[in-house]
Structure 1
Amino acid sequence: MAEVPTIRLATREDVGEILSMIKELAEFEHALDKVEATESSLLQTLAFAPSRHRHHHEHHHDKDNSTSTNSKQDSHAHNSLTPSDAPLSGSAHNPPHQNSGYAKTLLLQDPSTAEVAGMALFYHTYSTWQARPGIYLEDLFIRTAHRRKGYATMLLQELARETERIGGGRLEWSCLKWNQNALDFYEGEKVGARQLEEWTGLRVEREELDKLGKAGWGRYRRM
């Protein structure tokens, strides 16, 4: 049986790879000078699965000390990473498995090299009309050497499954108007996305964001 790619939720050890791909994508979009992210800021703002090294250590520690007769079941439990639909924060019934963060990253590893070939960085949204959550794909990136292998489709398929796992109603993202190759791919049969012609994206950032926030001081009370 041929080896297949692996898709997993990123751990803190992957932050260097994530930053590298953010910069590679920004360079492709002719906006590398706009990247302000650092490994430190990503570690503070992204959610990560438990460390793979920690799971490996715990598995060997338990293997040496456990008296369980079901070693296969124990091995699976200790080596399984937290699924991508695990809660970002814990509760009495669901202990926390991940650090609190604003977005998650799926990484795809090439089976022949074990290299990280691409990523899908996403976060949860909400629709008032549907009264259901959704997923917004912030960055989808496949490294040049690994393109034309179907990896982008695989990441989108996994995000579609993730959306359904959380009971979500939609998966959405933005695409640069000049990137016709990407638009053709997204609107093709494999993905089936459609452009939202009736909507226009709006954004407030930097000086305008600061000005907008300060303008409200004293005009209302925040409870």
Structure 2
Amino acid sequence: MQVKIRPATPEDVPVLFDLICALAEYEHLSHLVTGSAELLQQHLFGPEAFASALLAEVGGQAVGFALYFRNFSTFLTRPGIYLEDLFVLPEFRGRGIGKALLARVAQEAVAKGYGRLEWMVLDWNQPAIEFYRRLGAKPHPEWILHRVVGAELEALARLAEDPYPS
């Protein structure tokens, strides 16, 4: 089995979005997919690219992806990479494809002199947790993810207009 890992191109956006939807289905989060291939195209390949993506192909078929973006560590005072998603279609797992995708993201971080590579894993996804542990990743349970979206995000943004109401 020949696996090819390559950067995604604008022409790959439809298949990449299909893989994102497959990931959401696997994670039981399809109801949270409110984006579109058009928005993905804009944010990956538009004038202000926010993220990068790699595709894994077997026999010309896209079977997995890694989507990531640059972040920054104030303690290291160096950039890093945040891996937003790593996914391989279930029928192609166990063949080293996820490892190859993650290794390519790590290779980019090292080549650019970045200080770290990090990501989140759903607490129920034991196969992923074990996969990452085998590759040397260590969980940080003392850190709790916080998020504001939708109406809460808009309400928080409005506080900037008058942060100290009387």
TM-score, length-normalised on structure 1?
A: 0.70
Counterpart of 1:100 in structure 2 is 48
Counterpart of 2:160 in structure 1 is 216
State the superposition RMSD in angstroms: 1.5
Instruction: Tell me which of 41, 44, 67 is aligned to 2:42.
Output: 44
- Are residue 182 (structure 1) and residue 131 (structure 2) matched? no
In the alignment, residue 48 of structure 2 is paired with which amino acid?
Answer: S
Q: Name the SS for the 2:138 alignment partner.
A: coil
Shift of 1:124: 0.3
Counterpart of 2:76 in structure 1 is 130
Shift of 1:159: 0.8
Query: Could you tell me how far apart the structure 2 residues matched to 1:164 and 1:153 are?
Result: 16
Conserved 8 A contact 1:107-1:119: yes
Shift of 1:218: 3.9
Deviations, residues 11-31 of structure 1 (Å, cap 9, x unaligned)? 110000111011000001111
* Greater per-residue strand proportion: 2
Shift of 1:126: 0.6
Counterpart of 1:200 in structure 2 is 144
Conserved 8 A contact 1:19-1:37: no
In the alignment, residue 74 of structure 2 is paired with which amino acid?
Answer: T
Q: Size of the alignment, in residue pairs?
A: 164
Counterpart of 1:35 in structure 2 is 33
Query: Could you tell me how far apart the structure 2 residues matched to 1:38 and 1:204 are?
Result: 21
Task: Please list every run of 5 or more consecutive structure 1 residues that lacks an aligned counterpart in the other structure.
Answer: 49-98
Counterpart of 1:62 in structure 2 is none
Shift of 1:179: 0.7
TM-score, length-normalised on structure 2?
A: 0.93
Q: Which has the larger radius of gyration?
A: 1
Q: Name the SS for the 1:22 alignment partner.
A: helix
Query: Could you tell me how far apart the structure 2 residues matched to 1:158 and 1:46 are?
Result: 18
**Misfit runs of 4+, over 2 Å:** none
